[in-house]
Chains A and B, each alone.
Chain A
């Protein structure tokens, strides 16, 4: 007969979850992560190793207490029984074999983790506890709820034949290299990092994983620690591209003293393999793109490369840069009858595609503006001067008055006599040339 132990932490404290999983895994190879604050173990076959159920439960409890976790342990024939025993009982609660149904009788329905629709339906029937659900006629339950009804009823009776979803600790992808003589130059340091990257990528490939970020830590000769990270444009397990990325990252952020130990960590992700579609444009290969981005970083600096993201603000030029990532392939369109062209059509929607471009001047240039009858009549700024022959404005742009850096300015669109169309702004500091229409 199967016996399940449940480690339960009241309050669903997730900080102790790694400790619970580790303790459970030290006692049984069959461990399931049961959600916030809950871990299940299969106790089958552990008697010769650790003794009876009570001894194992006591061991689990004391091991968790040593780590400062206020854990309760329940043992029963099913997950629901063990969880309810842990939740409702004391530090260690054992439900005798075969008595799960009686033990679970007063337990609330919520123990089964029902969806809101099913919970509401059973609530309308007046079913509040597992015992009430277990007592319902099985045939009538199947007629009204389909296959889900008998399944829930079996769980309510403590009949749980579903195997545990085994949890295995995630592999740690980390490699280190000691160089007690101290590495000062960037080139040998890059070679060291490249060697570590090669080992990491080989391990990643063995696990059929890729890395979507690399972090490096250097312990320096002056007893300080120098850290940095780099993100490839797409998850990769190619050592050449990773090495190029790391070299560029180290060059952009060189250590200030000789390096004695360098540690490289990779953040693993599983990349689903998908076949490119015929109607999809070609994408850069992650390896080539990563290498190109690494070289671009050394050319213009990493902060200047990426994709812009607009911020939720009316402040002029409110945006930030994010790393450029290869978008995941679009799912195959679900073609329905009558759908001739499921692909997006450029130009659909008002104004799309024929928008007048704005060239931002970063930072805005200070300008001398002469007024005539309250309107700008002449402009002089660095590289741009002329008589204003047409203009419209002002519009008040303001916002974020609730922050410490509110903004308010009046904007004008003006046309100079040489044909230049530009946007002027005026605030308490004077006139500025903000942008040129192009």
Chain B
């Protein structure tokens, strides 16, 4: 039996679901997923990678903090053979360059840069460079960070926050059931209606 420590979100939320949210990530543009740790931002990035790979595309993940978990990814439906995983082991300077390099290599469906959950500062003009690299091909180029790091260069900025955690078992909790996240589009250059203040996506991630 599921229990919640927080109240359910108010009615009127956008319930078109995860597919609707994943569809707003534009090809050939730079996108950004921002949100603190445990907000569901990493899960959103994983879902984006898994969907692209399931459609036959190849995906690349530049893992700044070396935190990617292949077991969870496989459970999410990501074909690991279609994944190019670049482990930077905390060397963020290398991670910037690797993302820039892969964004310029045509043929990937998604090129993702995961900067971890610790706040970082991107080098000056990094966002503009990455945006220019993304403009050269059809890949979805996305950066996952706790805060915005690409400045005004990102064509899409999705903010994710945790609505509640779901625990299984009552009164004694047996295990973590999942997390409900609320995603909002903070900026969308190609469809400003997505960034309407009242519009949000509610997604339940299962542990």
Give residues in A with beta carbon < 8 Å to B.
Answer: 280-285, 288-289, 292, 295-296, 299-300, 304-310, 317-319, 321, 324-327, 330, 343-347, 349, 351-362, 383, 390-393, 395, 413, 415, 419-422, 435-438
Report the minimal beta-carbon distance from B51 to chain A, rounded to whole angstroms. Answer: 5
| CB interface residues, B 84-132, toward A, < 8 Å | 84-89, 91, 94, 97-98, 101-102, 104-109, 116-118
Tell which of B7-15, B65-73, B149-157 binds the partner: B65-73
Give the nearest-CB partner of B36 in chain A.
Answer: A419
B50, CB-defined interface residue at 8 Å: yes
B204, CB-defined interface residue at 8 Å: yes
Give the nearest-CB partner of B160 in chain A.
Answer: A438
Q: Write out the residue numbers on chain A whose beta carbons fall within 8 Å of the beta carbon of B57.
A: 281
In order of increasing CB-CB distance, the 8 nearest A-B pairs are A284-B107, A438-B42, A308-B70, A357-B42, A356-B205, A355-B76, A304-B87, A346-B54
B188, CB-defined interface residue at 8 Å: no
Q: A358-B72, A421-B176 are in contact. Are A300 and B50 (CB under 8 A)?
A: no
B147, CB-defined interface residue at 8 Å: no
- B85 A357 Cβ-Cβ under 8 A: no
Q: B53-80 vs A: 1/0 string, CB under 8 Å? A: 0111110000001111111111111001
Name, among B109, B174, B176, the residue most crowded by chain A CB atoms within 10 Å (CB to CB): B176
Q: Write out the residue numbers on chain B whose beta carbons fall within 8 Å of the beta carbon of A390.
A: 5, 165, 167, 173
* Contact of A296 (CB < 8 Å), options: B46, B71, B82, B101: B101
**In the docked arrangement, what's the CA distance between A252 and B75, Å?**
34
**In the docked arrangement, what's the CA distance between A283 and B84, Å?**
13
- A305 B87 Cβ-Cβ under 8 A: yes
Give the nearest-CB partner of A319 in chain B.
Answer: B70
- B84 A324 Cβ-Cβ under 8 A: yes
**In the docked arrangement, what's the CA distance between A351 and B173, Å?**
21
Q: Write out the residue numbers on chain A whose beta carbons fall within 8 Å of the beta carbon of B167.
A: 390, 392
Q: A300-B94, A362-B66, A438-B38 are in contact. Are A352 and B107 (CB under 8 A)?
A: no
Give the nearest-CB partner of B105 in chain A.
Answer: A292
- A352 B76 Cβ-Cβ under 8 A: yes
Report the minimal beta-carbon distance from B156 to chain A, rounded to whole angstroms. Answer: 20
**In the docked arrangement, what's the CA distance between A284 and B108, Å?**
6
* Contact of A438 (CB < 8 Å), options: B43, B71, B73, B204: B43
24 contacts between A and B (CB under 8 A): A281-B109, A282-B107, A284-B107, A288-B107, A289-B107, A300-B98, A304-B66, A307-B81, A307-B85, A308-B80, A347-B77, A353-B51, A353-B77, A357-B205, A359-B42, A359-B67, A360-B69, A362-B66, A383-B118, A392-B168, A395-B175, A419-B36, A436-B37, A436-B38
| Interface SS, B side | mixed
Report the minimal beta-carbon distance from B112 to chain A, rounded to whole angstroms. Answer: 12
Report the minimal beta-carbon distance from B113 to chain A, rounded to whole angstroms. Answer: 13
- B98 A296 Cβ-Cβ under 8 A: yes
Report the minimal beta-carbon distance from A8 to chain B, rounded to whole angstroms. Answer: 43
B47, CB-defined interface residue at 8 Å: yes
- B77 A360 Cβ-Cβ under 8 A: no
Report the minimal beta-carbon distance from B91 to chain A, rounded to whole angstroms. Answer: 7
Tally of contacts, chain A with chain B, CB under 8 A:
213
- B117 A438 Cβ-Cβ under 8 A: yes
Give the nearest-CB partner of A384 in chain B.
Answer: B37
B26, CB-defined interface residue at 8 Å: no
* Contact of A292 (CB < 8 Å), options: B54, B66, B102, B174: B102
**In the docked arrangement, what's the CA distance between A324 and B80, Å?**
10
- B174 A392 Cβ-Cβ under 8 A: yes
Report the minimal beta-carbon distance from B80 to chain A, rounded to whole angstroms. Answer: 5
Report the minimal beta-carbon distance from A342 to chain B, rounded to whole angstroms. Answer: 12
- A327 B81 Cβ-Cβ under 8 A: yes
Q: Write out the residue numbers on chain A whose beta carbons fall within 8 Å of the beta carbon of B71.
A: 310, 317-319, 358
**In the docked arrangement, what's the CA distance between A336 and B106, Å?**
34
- A355 B72 Cβ-Cβ under 8 A: yes
B203, CB-defined interface residue at 8 Å: yes
B207, CB-defined interface residue at 8 Å: yes
Report the minimal beta-carbon distance from A306 to chain B, rounded to whole angstroms. Answer: 6
- A305 B178 Cβ-Cβ under 8 A: no
Give the nearest-CB partner of A306 in chain B.
Answer: B85
B194, CB-defined interface residue at 8 Å: no
Q: Write out the residue numbers on chain A whose beta carbons fall within 8 Å of the beta carbon of B47.
A: 353-355
Report the minimal beta-carbon distance from A240 to chain B, rounded to whole angstroms. Answer: 15
**In the docked arrangement, what's the CA distance between A140 and B118, Å?**
82
**In the docked arrangement, what's the CA distance between A319 and B42, Å?**
20
**In the docked arrangement, what's the CA distance between A417 and B9, Å?**
20
* Contact of A354 (CB < 8 Å), options: B82, B91, B206: B206
**In the docked arrangement, what's the CA distance between A285 and B160, Å?**
35
Q: Write out the residue numbers on chain B whose beta carbons fall within 8 Å of the beta carbon of A359.
A: 37, 42, 65, 67-69, 116-117
Q: Write out the residue numbers on chain B whose beta carbons fall within 8 Å of the beta carbon of A357.
A: 42-43, 45-46, 69, 72-73, 76, 205
Give the nearest-CB partner of B205 in chain A.
Answer: A356
Report the minimal beta-carbon distance from A10 to chain B, rounded to whole angstroms. Answer: 43
Report the minimal beta-carbon distance from A205 to chain B, rounded to whole angstroms. Answer: 22
- A355 B107 Cβ-Cβ under 8 A: no
- A352 B77 Cβ-Cβ under 8 A: yes
Q: Write out the residue numbers on chain A whose beta carbons fall within 8 Å of the beta carbon of B56.
A: 280-281, 330, 343
Q: Write out the residue numbers on chain B whose beta carbons fall within 8 Å of the beta carbon of A360.
A: 66-69
**In the docked arrangement, what's the CA distance between A377 and B174, Å?**
16
Q: Write out the residue numbers on chain A whose beta carbons fall within 8 Å of the beta carbon of B176.
A: 356, 392, 413, 421, 437
Q: Write out the residue numbers on chain A whose beta carbons fall within 8 Å of the beta carbon of B66.
A: 304, 360, 362
Q: A327-B82, A360-B69 are in contact. Are A349 and B77 (CB under 8 A)?
A: yes
Q: A353-B76, A421-B38, A436-B37 are in contact. Are A300 and B86 (CB under 8 A)?
A: yes
Report the minimal beta-carbon distance from A179 to chain B, rounded to whole angstroms. Answer: 32
Q: A289-B107, A308-B80, A390-B173 are in contact. Are A346 and B86 (CB under 8 A)?
A: no
